[in-house]
Amino acid sequence: MNQRDIQLIEERLGVDLPSEYVDFLLSDRDLDVIDDVTLIDDASLIVTSTMAYRNGSWNQQWPKNLVYVGDEADACPFVLNCVTGNLSRLDHGSLDRKALETYASMQDFITARYLQFREKAEAADGDPLTGFSKIKSDFLFNLKFYTPVIIALIVIFLLFPAVAISIRELYRWVVA
């Protein structure tokens, strides 16, 4: 996302986005601590989704200070309050129900996600970096294991039929 995308969001939604959120959107996401579904980085999707909630879609009608910023692919959106700067995860977008998660700021949210990521990695092997390496090594092991299978399938379904067709065409050419 770039500065023009930020301006587009602010203009179309009539809000001033909190600086912590803007800084996050403009930064590179090095780790998968917060992916692009949890906090989306598509300006048009942010605007469209926010307007849908503001206009009463899904039986919700959000006030103008709330901006849809993402979700966990479970229809429970993360909502940024542009006045207070807090970030909440609403139960199916409802303002009437208690929020599933609430963070005082964008930085609190990022910190909480990093700690969750670290706990998962430590649980994998006792050390966050080793745990992360174990996840990578499991992937590489699976890749090494399935490579011969993939090659065999290519030979069976691509190479053998190609050879058979070539032999048939050669026979037709010789006989004709």
**pLDDT given at position 62:** 95
pTM: 0.67
d(CA 156, CA 149): 11
Q: Please tell me the predicted confidence (pLDDT) of residue 143.
A: 67
Model confidence pLDDT, tens digit, residues 50-82: 999 999 887 789 999 999 999 988 889 999 999
Ranges of residues in the chain whose predicted pLDDT is under 50: 131
* Distance (Å, whole) CA 95 – CA 60: 8
> In sequence order, which residues have a C-beta less than 8 Å from that of residue 65 and are 6 or more positions away?
15, 81, 82, 83
Q: 3-class secondary structure for 96-164?
A: CCCCCEEECCHHHHHHHHHHHHHHHHHHHHCCHHHHHHHHHHHHHHHHHHHHHHHHHHHHHHHHHHHHH
**Collapsed DSSP state (helix, strand, coil) of residue 50:** helix
